[in-house]
Amino acid sequence: IKDLDLLDLIYIRLLAVLQTLVVFLEEKSAGSFLSRKLLYNSWDFELLVPDNLQRECMEEICSYEEAREVFEDDIQTAKFWEGYVNSHGKVDSYIYIYIYVYVYALYAAISHSFFLHLHSVPVRMGVDGQPIPESVPLANRAPGLPSYNEALTHSGQHDAPPPPYSGPY
């Protein structure tokens, strides 16, 4: 045993654990496993995962067959199905009403804003149909360019002589 390394010890321990595992199912559980058929939500390995009422029928809409798989009894399934079908009818109608009201309100808001934009006047008109005079009158004549003599005598920021050239010449 002293010559065994760590991998050999792990391998021996794994073999001991695997020998204690049961490979075959009992007759009843094997029969129920083989008699089940896949339903639409088969991506969650429905054949291998035990049935759960919360997962099958409360978190998503389930069919009668899925409820039957959970209860595995026709009487209990019929009692559950009667209450399940009646409860979802009320919820579905409320959802449809809320969606209808939301879509109608959205349509009304868009229509109202489009109507206002379509019928708005871009220029304000007076009662007689003439444009309203502006509050700030425009100048009759824009100021023209100065004459040559005015430009020469006018002092400004660009009137200074250029800086001295600091080159080789």
Q: Tell me the pLDDT tens digit for each residue of 32-53.
A: 666 655 554 555 555 555 566 6
**Exposed e or buried b for every residue in 130-162, given b needs 16+ CB within 10 A?**
eeeeeeeeeeeeeeeeeeeeeeeeeeeeeeeee
Give the span between the Cα atoms of 13 and 17, in whole angstroms: 6
User: Which structural domain, as residue segments, surrounds residue 28?
Assistant: 6-118
Number of domains in the chain: 1
- Residue 105 is predicted with a pLDDT of 94
In this structure, is residue 70 part of a structural domain? Answer: yes
Each residue of 52-66: pLDDT tens digit?
666 667 666 777 887
In this structure, is residue 150 part of a structural domain? Answer: no
In this structure, is residue 62 part of a structural domain? Answer: yes
Give the span between the Cα atoms of 126 and 147, in whole angstroms: 43
In this structure, is residue 66 part of a structural domain? Answer: yes
- Residue 124 is predicted with a pLDDT of 64
In this structure, is residue 84 part of a structural domain? Answer: yes
Give the pTM: 0.27
Each residue of 109-131: pLDDT tens digit?
998 888 877 777 666 666 676 76
Each residue of 71-112: pLDDT tens digit?
788 888 888 888 777 665 556 677 788 888 999 999 999 988
In this structure, is residue 160 part of a structural domain? Answer: no
> Minimal CA–CA distance to 32: which of 9, 45, 48?
48
In this structure, is residue 154 part of a structural domain? Answer: no
Q: What is the DSSP string of 107-155?
A: HHHHHHHHHHHHT--SS-B-TTSSBPPPSSPPPSS---PPPHHHHHH--
Residue 68 predicted with pLDDT over 90: no
In this structure, is residue 161 part of a structural domain? Answer: no
Number of H helices, E strands in the chain: 6, 0
Residue with the larger pLDDT of the pair 74 and 6: 74
Give the span between the Cα atoms of 31 and 43, in whole angstroms: 22
